[in-house]
Amino acid sequence: MLFFNKVTIIGVGLIGGSLARVMKAQKLAGEIHGAGRSRETLEQAIRLGVIDHMGQSSAHAVEHADLVVLAAPVGTFEPIVREIAPHMKKGAILTDVGSVKGMLVRTLEGLLPSGVHFVPGHPIAGREKHGVDAATDTLFQGAKCILTPTDRTDSGALDAVKALWAAAGMNVVLMDPDRHDHIFAAVSHLPHAAAYAMVSTVAEFSSEADNYITFSGAGFRDFTRIAASSPEMWRDVCLLNGKNIVEMIEQYQFSLNRIKKAIKHKDGHRLEALFRAASDLRKGLG
């Protein structure tokens, strides 16, 4: 049976808090400790019953932990691991929920002492709301979790992390770290950048007398829903996966320019063909 005596979650927000709720609901952990920059958030997590204890620091919180989960913004991973690595016990597992892998995985592997096992992870789940008060033990059900092991990943640790996410209701997929970053630049990172840009574009046409956004309907709200996501988190993602994201933005601009050209030339047949091809693909997603 999958069971950890002590689990430490660094970054008790939506994802970290939801994972804690899963482990409590399924009795997968003896006790859950939280750590992070905000004492107020940690105190709230204790009041909500998401965690049992909070550490004086991340280094203190990981002592004697069997499992440590990095659920803070990905830009903080390297300094956090530098801080906690000397305090992790031999045999402990470190995993994460970050949406950037690639070079970051190789950097973190190099910071860990012998006997501490790193299993990089990325649960594909979220909501437009963020924070521990939005955490739920049903967040992950039916979604995918990508694990990106390397040739240095311990097989036993990999099996334990796979079992944890499967217990949360996720379909676990193994993937190369660099392939992960290229794929998710297209299907996740680009859409967030586009949503932020769309809101900014409409806002630029607004004034006190005529606020365009107040006239938005379901289409605008659906498209831009993810622009309500954490700006700090997406800043870090864009900086860490910049090369791939720039490539996707350039391809997106190419696609937009094809549509713009068809509109300018009043080419209805071309417009319909472009829209139909995209529509058919989107319908295939269900």
d(Cα 120, Cα 96) in Å, to the nearest integer? 6
Rounded to the nearest 5°, which phi and psi values hold at 94? -110, 130
Specify the residue for token string 């720039």: 246
Fold that domain 4-175 belongs to in CATH: Rossmann fold (3.40.50)
Separation CA 249–CA 198 (nearest Å): 13
Instruction: Give residue 1's pLDDT band: very low, low, confident or very high (50, 70, 90).
Output: low
Reported as a pLDDT band with limits 50, 70 and 90, residue 56 is confident
Closest CA to 1 of 27, 21, 22: 27
Predicted local confidence at residue 34, as pLDDT: 97
Strands 144-147 and 171-174: parallel
The residue extents of the domains of the chain are 4-175, 179-283
| 109 neighbors 119 (Cβ within 8 angstroms) | no
Fold that domain 179-283 belongs to in CATH: 6-phosphogluconate dehydrogenase C-terminal fold (1.10.3660)
Query: Is pLDDT of 233 > 90?
Result: no
Per cent of the chain over pLDDT 70 is 99
Question: What is the 8-class DSSP label of residue 75?
Answer: G
Q: What does the pLDDT look like over 79-114, one tens digit per residue?
A: 999 999 999 999 999 999 999 999 999 999 999 999
Q: What is the pTM of this model?
A: 0.91
Is residue 128's pLDDT more than 70?
no
* Predicted pLDDT of residue 26: 95
Question: What is residue 286's predicted lDDT score, i.e. its pLDDT?
Answer: 74
